[in-house]
Amino acid sequence: MITVVGEALADLIAGPDGRTFVAHPGGSPANVALGLARLGAPARLGTRVGDDLFGRMVRDHLAADGVEVVALPALTGQTSVAFAATDAEGVAAYDFRLDWDVTDLTALPVGTHLHTGSLATLLEPGAAVVEDAMRRARAAGATVSLDPNMRPSLAGEHDAAVSRVERQVAMADIVKVSEEDLEWLYPGADPVEVARRWADGPALVVVTLGAKGAHAVSGGAETARPGPEVAVVDTVGAGDAFMAGLLRWLSGRLGAMSALDEAALAAALDFANTVAARTCARPGADPPRPADLADVWGLLP
């Protein structure tokens, strides 16, 4: 069982006129949990959702694909909302109305792997609670993955944000980070060089490069793989779908991360790139199922 911790919310996505919005279940960690479940990996989501219209929509959506949703203790009970609008290339910009005020994670079962990131590792007071859960998971023998998924408008003071991310990277076994995130964290730096530096701690660091694919660094092995061509509808949830695809590929090898060679990394990236591309081919965070991935399903170990 993979346990995901983080926000679940309602994505209100703008229509072509920019004035009407359609509600979709969302939240980066929730999207990862959904993607894992659709790919056949048992997934549990520890999150904060209210007993309101959007909360019920999110719960029902996740439960329909078999995600076990665990409501976490929090100070308030309203489901968070993100407004999203896409540009001509389908790239989304966000405006958030949310809280992450989770107060306790000690009762949440972790299983063999804990994944977190995004607003859950950014917004206080819950971010400190999540960091404590990361430490406890590793102490208990579980592996941990992180996707910083930076939101600059919410990140606060830049140097403090960099320090926070670097501290969390050091707590993780697997890190997935986008080229855009690294440009915000380290303006002008080569993203691959940053990945190599970060890989001194985690067993695997992957940088996603949008339509250009992804680059992975793991110990002495390193490889880059292009992304498949796709007619992009929008990019909402693409990074989360990649994360789910990567974790699904790694799910049987989480205890042997140091044994990954270039061939294994290439297969993992090809699978995750394809999962992300299929998500980009349809609106919203709607990750694919095995039937949508028949051409790459054989890449799984």
What was the pLDDT predicted at 90? Answer: 66
Tell me whether strands 9-14 and 21-26 are parallel, antiparallel or unpaired.
antiparallel
pTM of the model: 0.93
What is d(CA 105, CA 219) in angstroms, rounded to the nearest whole number?
Answer: 31
What is d(CA 239, CA 277) in angstroms, rounded to the nearest whole number?
Answer: 10
Place of tokens 């992804």: 214
**SS3 of 279, please?**
helix
Place of tokens 């019920």: 56
**pLDDT exceeds cutoff 90 at 87:** no
**The architecture CATH gives domain 2-299:** 3-Layer(aba) Sandwich (3.40)
Mean pLDDT of all residues belonging to the chain: 92
Number of other CB atoms surrounding residue 282 within 10 Å: 16
Mean pLDDT of 24-35: 95
* Cβ-contact 281, 238 below 8 angstroms: no
Please write the tens of the pLDDT for every residue from 120-169.
999 999 999 999 999 999 999 999 999 999 989 889 999 999 999 999 99
What was the pLDDT predicted at 283? Answer: 82
Q: Domain extents for the chain? A: 2-299
Higher pLDDT, 281 or 84: 281
**pLDDT exceeds cutoff 90 at 75:** no
Nearest alpha carbon to residue 87 among 211, 233, 208, 221 = 233
> Amino acid letter at 34?
L
What was the pLDDT predicted at 76? Answer: 64
Please write the tens of the pLDDT for every residue from 212-241.
999 999 988 999 999 999 999 888 899 999
